[in-house]
Amino acid sequence: MIGEYFKISGRNILKKGIRSWLTMIGIFIGVAAVVSLISLGQGMEDAIRNQFANMGTDIIIVMPGRGFESFGSSKLTKHDEDIIRGVKGVDNEAPFIVKLSKLTYRKEVAYTMVIGTPSDDRFRVIEKMNNFKTIEGRNKFYPSDKYSVAVGYTLAYGDFLKNKNVRLNDRIMIDDVEFKVVGIMGKVGNPDDDKNVYIPLETAKDVFNDKDYNQIIVKTASGAEVAKVADDIKTRMRKDRGQKEGEEDFNAQTSEQLLESVGGILNTVQAVLVGIALISLMVGGIGIMNTMYTSVLERTSEIGVMKAIGAKNSDILALFLIESGALGLVGGIIGVVIGLAMSKTVEYVARNNLGNDLLQANTSLELIIGALAFSFIVGCISGVLPAMQASQLKPVEALRYE
């Protein structure tokens, strides 16, 4: 019996032709938007999780300010570094300085982030955290490397400097100070990070005329409880600065805490975008309802005949509900296909044209099944009132309707 319902519903949908397609537009646009947004959001979250996994769970990031607004707010000092080094459970730490600077190469001028990193064993902390890979030369500086520089992948192999690619042993100017290129970095995955330039920390202090740090990366000792070490760092720094808990002008977060913060932001943005996409589904549902009401009027005589030969109210109700659900389901199938194509297209463009490996599309079977089920349910709900109206028609009146 159910098979007959679907057969009749399919025939009626095909019979409507272009009207059926127009009815489903809102559904498949909404489903396509939901599938593509969730796929990209999940893919980005997975990529970020992988980066944090490469960073390691034994890392603590100490920042001025309350979080990522650290750049441009208060700074960290050599005194803060000494306090952190003295906290129990700290194995090593590495401060660094970051500044947007003018870079000049063969009369070509560009602006990029210049990062000052330690030249001693503290560099190992930053190297491990950022998963640095060197294509040519080296990324580690020695005490004699005062005016040496390692450049990001895009400066050597991209078009950041209008195809004037930087090569090993070339000379470049940073804030009008000449440096020798001693290393070319591999791809980091983020196009902005691949434009970064790295110089020795002490040189950065002189060039930028700034002795303070933007961040201090802390590596905890083996077996230490990372969260407790982070709390101890906060306690020691609060005491040194004479600050109360909750009023600090700095922050110390573990890599897991940072991941949770980033994940929360991504989920919020994704929820807002999906909420906007759901509006399209509501519009699609209204379209289905309108079509089904029209269908009731067009098929009034047919309903009368069905009732006259023994069809029950429940049969008519089921027939119209399945037809409206089928409209939603077909719209959902089209939407899923379009959504998957959109998300994969965005991933391809981001990876091949923008050099961004973070923007990925990860689609689960649960997402596809959920999208199809949701579109079918939206269709059924939209057809409830028209179906009830059809089932309650009296056979005599329905047969007389023209």
| Most confident by average pLDDT, 41-50, 112-121, 353-362, 387-396 | 112-121
**Each residue's pLDDT tens digit, 384-400:** 777 777 777 666 565 55
Going by C-alpha positions, the residue among 171, 122, 121, 125 that lies closest to residue 149 is 171
pLDDT given for residue 115 in this prediction? 92
What average pLDDT does the structure give for the chain?
A: 80
Average pLDDT (28-36) is: 83
Residue ranges covered by each domain of the chain: 2-51+260-400, 75-248
Work out the average pLDDT over 111-118.
Answer: 91
For the residues of 97-151, what is the DSSP string, one character each? Answer: EEEEEEEEETTEEEEEEEEEE-SSTTHHHHHHHHT--EEEE-S---TT-TTEEEE
**Residue of 97, 96, 102, 100 whose CA lies nearest to 177:** 102
Pairing of strands 134-137, 108-117: unpaired
Distance of CA 389 to the CA centre of its chain: 46
Q: Percentage of the chain surpassing pLDDT 90?
A: 14
* DSSP reduced 3-state for 207: helix
Which of these, 143, 144, 89, 149, lies nearest to 116 by C-alpha position?
149
Q: What is the pLDDT of residues 275-325, one digit of tens each?
A: 777 776 777 777 777 776 776 666 666 667 676 777 677 777 777 777 788
∠ at Cα 294 (335, 372), nearest 5°? Answer: 20
Residue 242: strand, helix, or coil: coil
Tell me the pLDDT tens digit for each residue of 59-108.
888 988 765 444 445 678 899 999 998 899 989 899 989 999 999 988 88
Q: What is the pLDDT of residue 71?
A: 47
> How confident is the model over 164-204, as pLDDT tens digits?
788 898 999 999 899 999 999 888 767 778 889 999 999 99
